[in-house]
Amino acid sequence: MEIVHVYTRKRSEFGRPCSFSDRPAEVCVDIQPDPSLADSFLLRCPVDAHVQHGSDMSEHEVNTERVEVETRGVNHVEGGWPKDINPQELEQTIRFRKKVEKEENYVNAIVHLGTLMEHCVKQNNAIDIYEEYFGEEELAEVEDEPPSAKTINVIRYYQTNIFSDVLLSKRDPNVVKRTATHLSWHPDRCKKLAVAYSSLEFQQNMKDMSFQSYIWDLENPNKPELVLKPSSPLVSLEYNPKDSHILVGGCYNGQMAYWDTRKGGLPVEVSTVEVSHRDPVYGAIWLQSKTGTECFSASTDGQVLWWDIRKLSEPTEILVLDITRQGLLENALGAVTLEFEPTMPTKFMVGTEQGIVIACNRKAKTPPEKIASTYSSHHGPVYALARNPFYPKIFLTVGDWTARIWSEETKESSIMWTKYHLSYLTDGCWSTVRPSVFFTTKMDGTLDIWDFLFKQNNPSLSLKICDEPLSSLRLQDNGCVVGCGSKLGTVTLLEISSGLCTLQRNEKNLANAMFERETKREKILEARHREMRLKERARSEGQGTEAEEMLEESPQEALDRAQKEFFEVIEAELQRRAQAEAQHLHGKVQKHAEEAVAAQEEESKLPKYEEEAEEEDAA
């Protein structure tokens, strides 16, 4: 429907002129102000007024002309010839050249330049001006910084008590702390650390203590990456160097278990209780084999067992650590550490509770022959045993209050040893990059780094890590980062300064020379002792009565004499120490000298005392 609007107008009205007229102003509306309205308004004072002035800017775009680049080659053609000479024509060019050569200018110039040039040529031949002088010596100046180490990470686990009794309304606030007994670095990238936690106190199994051990990822030290749940706490734990997903662990109750990290926290297989060890498994190491599944373990029950992890129901081989070579379990010595060097696959060493180190040969035909040699090393258990990665014949033992370095050839005594410390040494290992550096940990919570090419009577760096005893130590393969586990379960990671973990010039030779020198010294001493002993024996056989009178001294008297001497030595040492402290004000140098002398005297006295005890025993 269309809407139509129609306008109509008469035709006669079109075009009529308009007539306008004036009209006076009229008031249309008058609105008076209403003062009452003003009450609803407040006077504003002060009044904020804003003013802004900004400069006007305009936007403008500029684009440079694109430069086009092209790769071109240049063909050198002879140029510069004067116009009249055609460069192709040999005759003309030769003629031109001859003409030039005859010019006086030319001759003078050449002679002058010739001398100049000769000088430089001779210079070049004489010395090489760009040779690197003092290049090597610059490096030597860099290592002036004193050795130091800094903590890069501390891993603590906070164990919530998950075994609390439901009826008790309050939670047990005591968190049961367990010792970090063993550390093992991940073989490939060393970014993960497997730590075995257990309580090594004798028969102190608190019922709430958890059995778990953890694998920590260094990127995330707050929460363990993987929790391993064995049936009994783990005392030792090792990554398989060939397959980084497999770990083997030795338990507190003597069983062996192995884990695959891809399969979770429960062990894939556990050895049967009847054929396992009867005491905690203190050492478990992987063997170098084609299958990569063989390992062996040692424990204080005196046995060393070889296992194949594919079949943990029984060990593949058993060795009883009986040094009388009779294979009797009653005589066996309890093993506390195990040592194995992949470059010597048939030999291994065991450190025992009785302080004796046994070197064994796996490939011997009969069990008694398996025990190759013994070294009587410490007064107490040998807590750590390690071969020098550069010189496998040299090994380090750590036990009681000292750390000793042995050579395989000298069986009677160590070639080098540290002084007797004030607290027990708990663990030790060699540096993987420097043959003369090794680390030890003590019961007072300090980590010592020894560099015997630099300083021999004191560690070159001694750091107090924590107040509780340190129980285990492990160096990363690159030699820069070391992890220490403490009695309360804290693992501290330290990075040591580059001076201690970069191979110095000539260090291998110097270390080798030192080892050989000390070995020779010990051999000479041994030879002399043997001679003296032979002489004594010859004399005692010749002079029967006189010797017998001496020998008739009863054991009780000998014991009394020994005791008296022992206490005398202790008294002397205490007195000396009191004196030294009183003289502390007189300067440190003096004190150090005194202590060194006292320590040396004490050292020389104590071994002598040992010798006397030996001789009495022999008598």
Partner 1 sequence: AEVEETLKRIQAHKGVIATMVINAEGIPIRTTLDNSTTVQYAGLLHQLTMKARSTVRDIDPQNDLTFLRIRSKKHEIMVAPDKEYLLIVIQNPCE
User: Is the distance from CB of 307 to CB of 315 less than 8 angstroms?
Assistant: yes
Closer of 112 and 537 to partner 1 (Cβ): 112
Distance of CA 192 to the CA centre of its chain: 12
CB of 91 to partner 1, least distance (A): 15
Planar angle of CA 195, 200, 201, nearest 5 degrees: 150
CB of 505 to partner 1, least distance (A): 24
CB of 139 to partner 1, least distance (A): 22
CB of 136 to partner 1, least distance (A): 17
Residue among 333, 276, 256, 274 nearest 302 (CA): 333
Residues in contact with partner 1 by CB under 8 A are: 76-81, 96-97, 100-101, 105-107, 109-118, 120-122, 124-125, 128, 130-131
Closer of 83 and 363 to partner 1 (Cβ): 83
User: Is the distance from CB of 487 to CB of 179 less than 8 angstroms?
Assistant: yes
CB of 596 to partner 1, least distance (A): 51
- Torsion angles phi and psi, residue 148, rounded to 5: -150, 170
Closer of 45 and 120 to partner 1 (Cβ): 120
Cα distance between residue 100 and residue 312, in whole Å:
99
User: Is the distance from CB of 276 to CB of 240 less than 8 angstroms?
Assistant: no
Closer of 96 and 306 to partner 1 (Cβ): 96
Closer of 128 and 145 to partner 1 (Cβ): 128
Q: How many CA atoms lie within 13 A of 14 on its CB side?
A: 4
CB of 74 to partner 1, least distance (A): 8
User: Is the distance from CB of 523 to CB of 504 less than 8 angstroms?
Assistant: no
Token digits for 610?
Answer: 């040992």
User: Is the distance from CB of 237 to CB of 249 less than 8 angstroms?
Assistant: yes
Mode of pairing for the β-strands spanning 437-442 and 347-352:
unpaired
Token digits for 314?
Answer: 């029984």
Cα distance between residue 591 and residue 582, in whole Å:
10
Radius of gyration over every alpha carbon of the chain, rounded to an integer in angstroms:
45
Q: Which helix (H) or strand (E) holds 285?
A: strand 281-286
Closer of 37 and 129 to partner 1 (Cβ): 129
CB of 71 to partner 1, least distance (A): 18
User: Is the distance from CB of 420 to CB of 532 less than 8 angstroms?
Assistant: no
Token digits for 463?
Answer: 């750091």
Closer of 131 and 541 to partner 1 (Cβ): 131
Return the SS3 of 510: helix
CB of 133 to partner 1, least distance (A): 13
Closer of 96 and 454 to partner 1 (Cβ): 96
CB of 77 to partner 1, least distance (A): 7
CB of 87 to partner 1, least distance (A): 9
- Torsion angles phi and psi, residue 595, rounded to 5: -60, -40
Closer of 111 and 329 to partner 1 (Cβ): 111
Closer of 102 and 262 to partner 1 (Cβ): 102
Q: Max Cα separation, the chain?
A: 180
